[in-house]
Amino acid sequence: MDPIYHLVEPPAWEANPSADYAVSSLESEGFIHCAFGHQVAPAANRFYPAAAALLAVRLDPARLTSPLRVEPPSPTSTRMFPHVYGPIQRCAVSAVHALSRDERGEWVFPG
């Protein structure tokens, strides 16, 4: 499987580096939202347009111990997104990329 990415603002990612990572969507929706490489910039621009800084945490699906499912975000959608159904283990992280903005101010993914 291709690498997957989780978008996160730096303070949230760096808050507790020795523990597994979880976000509020894990409790409210049952999973952590992720994206494939081609989905990172569009998701960043849609969900984090005003963020001061943004990271794309690259995950190795083979190293995740929490279940990973690739599924549509809604029953009527034809797009597929990866969702992690549990905390993200830090040992599953293979890289952390800082996103930058282009001349229009939109997020650009270097991956």
Domain spans, the chain? 1-33+40-80
Angle at 83 between CA 78 and CA 89, to 5 degrees: 160
SS3 for 28-87, per residue? HCCCEECEEHHHHHHHHHHHCCCCCCCEEEEECHHHCCCCEEEECCCCCCCCCEEEECCC
Instruction: Give the whole-angstrom CA distance, residue 4 versus residue 24.
Output: 19
62-90 pLDDT, tens digit each: 999 999 999 988 788 888 999 999 999 99
Tokens linked to 6? 């989780």
pTM reported for the whole predicted model = 0.91
Per-residue pLDDT of 89-100, as tens digits, reads 999 999 999 999
